[in-house]
């Protein structure tokens, strides 16, 4: 974790950690969450990203919330469309009616409430 990341966490009122459902990401996110807790970030939430369709979202949400002690704000499924587009364009602009775009909009609205 670099100094810029630490500073950003330290001055945050709310921190959203975006993590993929894999062991390496879980471990890295755990470090970030411990640091945020020690820096007394007021609100902490999680977003699970690139979740395979074979995962049970309810079970995954419960497991992650139990293990980390923070709410899962959203679960974004894996999308071949996102992967294929890569960094060629802004996904939400290119696919304005896509399921992932709608989820991202909902997350945005939720975060600014």
Work out whether strand 14-19 and strand 72-77 pair parallel, antiparallel, or are unpaired: unpaired
112 confidence band (pLDDT: 50, 70, 90): confident
| CB contact at 8 A, 61 and 88 | no
User: Are residue 31 and residue 86 in the same domain, yes or no?
Assistant: no
Supply the mean pLDDT for the chain. 91
With the C-alpha atoms ordered 90, 108, 21, 54, is the resulting torsion angle positive or negative?
A: negative
Per-residue pLDDT at 23 exceeds 90? no
User: Are residue 102 and residue 74 in the same domain, yes or no?
Assistant: no
Distance CA 47, CA 110 (A): 12
User: Are residue 102 and residue 113 in the same domain, yes or no?
Assistant: yes
33 confidence band (pLDDT: 50, 70, 90): very high
User: Are residue 74 and residue 86 in the same domain, yes or no?
Assistant: no
The mean pLDDT of 60-73, rounded to a whole number, is: 94
User: Are residue 57 and residue 28 in the same domain, yes or no?
Assistant: yes
Count of structural domains within the chain:
2
Distance CA 105, CA 37 (A): 27
User: Are residue 46 and residue 88 in the same domain, yes or no?
Assistant: no
pLDDT for 65: 96
Q: What count of other Cβ atoms lies within 10 Å of the Cβ of residue 49?
A: 17
Report the share of the chain in percent with pLDDT over 90. Answer: 65
The domain containing residue 98 runs over which residues? 79-113
38 confidence band (pLDDT: 50, 70, 90): very high
User: Are residue 46 and residue 73 in the same domain, yes or no?
Assistant: yes
User: Are residue 86 and residue 57 in the same domain, yes or no?
Assistant: no
User: Are residue 45 and residue 96 in the same domain, yes or no?
Assistant: no
89 confidence band (pLDDT: 50, 70, 90): confident
Strand arrangement, sheet containing 14-19: 14-19, 43-51, 72-77
pLDDT for 71: 95
User: Are residue 95 and residue 67 in the same domain, yes or no?
Assistant: no
User: Are residue 68 and residue 32 in the same domain, yes or no?
Assistant: yes
């Amino acid at each position: 974790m670099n100094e810029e990341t630490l500073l950003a966490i330290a001055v945050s009122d709310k921190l959203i950690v975006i993590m993929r459902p894999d062991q390496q990401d879980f471990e890295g996110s755990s470090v970030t969450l411990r640091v945020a807790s020690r820096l007394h970030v007021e609100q902490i939430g999680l977003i699970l990203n690139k979740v395979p369709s074979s995962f049970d979202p309810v079970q995954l949400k419960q497991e992650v919330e139990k293990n980390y002690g923070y709410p899962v704000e959203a679960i974004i499924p894996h999308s071949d469309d996102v992967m294929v587009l890569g960094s060629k364009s802004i996904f939400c602009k290119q696919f304005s009616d896509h399921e992932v775009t709608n989820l991202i909009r909902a997350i945005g609205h939720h975060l600014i409430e």
